[in-house]
Chains A and B, each alone.
Chain A
Amino acid sequence: DAKTTQPPSMDCAEGRAANLPCNHSTISGNEYVYWYRQIHSQGPQYIIHGLKNNETNEMASLIITEDRKSSTLILPHATLRDTAVYYCIASDEVYNQGGKLIFGQGTELSVKP
């Protein structure tokens, strides 16, 4: 699986958009980009994933560059409850062919009033 690089921490004002970047310059053509977040000491929670098209769901939007070497997770109106560690992973969706799902250290997002 491709290695991902994220900034260790970011701040965001409550009500503003939070834009979390992820670099995955070695991503291969069949690898998807997944985003998870972890609040306090709970188990990580799935947010969104995509291959090359931008994706949106009720939680967030995912913007993937045309060359697929980087992506941005967007929380359109951040709230205090969005304070968490956000992880970006690149992995082959066809899980039964392998894929170690390496998380990295993620970005610690602090949403401030």
Chain B
Amino acid sequence: IAGITQAPTSQILAAGRRMTLRCTQDMRHNAMYWYRQDLGLGLRLIHYSNTAGTTGKGEVPDGYSVSRANTDDFPLTLASAVPSQTSVYFCASRDRAGELFFGEGSRLTVL
């Protein structure tokens, strides 16, 4: 049982570099989400997608882009990484009852 798979689990990145965090789900859920978590700030929504082909901005979308070409994949791209994007990133999908399923997280450090 895979559920939500995120990659990489951890990455150190130089500032200014482009980075894509991958997220794949095998549950055929329509809705998917990207959150970032920083110490003392809880989970903050970056972008979301209600269904394949649509995306929306969350609370902190600046500096990030997403795409949803199909149901299973929801990659998050940092076009030009900055140190303030150092964080733990969680991807999630949501079933029809409204329950969220989370990946294990991707820890990103931007130097």
Contacts of B74 in A (CB 8 A): none
Interface-located stretch among A12-20, A40-48, A58-66: A40-48
Give the number of chain B interface residues (Cβ < 8 Å). 31
Bound state CA distance, A105 and B100, in angstroms? 17
Whether A87 and B42, one on each chain, are in contact in the complex, defined by CB atoms closer than 8 angstroms, is yes
Whether A105 and B94, one on each chain, are in contact in the complex, defined by CB atoms closer than 8 angstroms, is no
Contacts of A41 in B (CB 8 A): 88, 105
- How many of chain A's residues touch chain B, expressed as a range? 20 to 34
Whether A103 and B43, one on each chain, are in contact in the complex, defined by CB atoms closer than 8 angstroms, is yes
Interface-located stretch among B11-19, B48-56, B77-85: B48-56
Whether B104 and A42, one on each chain, are in contact in the complex, defined by CB atoms closer than 8 angstroms, is yes
Q: A62-113: which residues lie under 8 A (CB-CB) from chain B?
A: 85, 87, 91, 93, 95-106
Q: B32-81: which residues lie under 8 A (CB-CB) from chain A?
A: 33, 35, 40-45, 48, 50-51, 56, 58-59
- Which among B40, B48, B51, B99 is the interface contact of A100 at CB below 8 angstroms? B48
Bound state CA distance, A44 and B105, in angstroms? 10
- Minimum CB–CB distance from A70 to chain B (whole Å) comes to 19
Whether A43 and B105, one on each chain, are in contact in the complex, defined by CB atoms closer than 8 angstroms, is yes
Contacts of B88 in A (CB 8 A): 41
Whether A101 and B42, one on each chain, are in contact in the complex, defined by CB atoms closer than 8 angstroms, is no
Bound state CA distance, A99 and B59, in angstroms? 12
Contacts of A102 in B (CB 8 A): 45, 58-59
Contacts of B48 in A (CB 8 A): 100-101
A-B contact pairs, 21 of them (CB 8 A): A34-B99, A38-B43, A42-B104, A42-B105, A43-B92, A43-B104, A44-B100, A49-B97, A87-B43, A91-B98, A95-B96, A95-B98, A96-B30, A96-B31, A98-B56, A100-B48, A100-B58, A101-B94, A103-B42, A103-B44, A103-B45
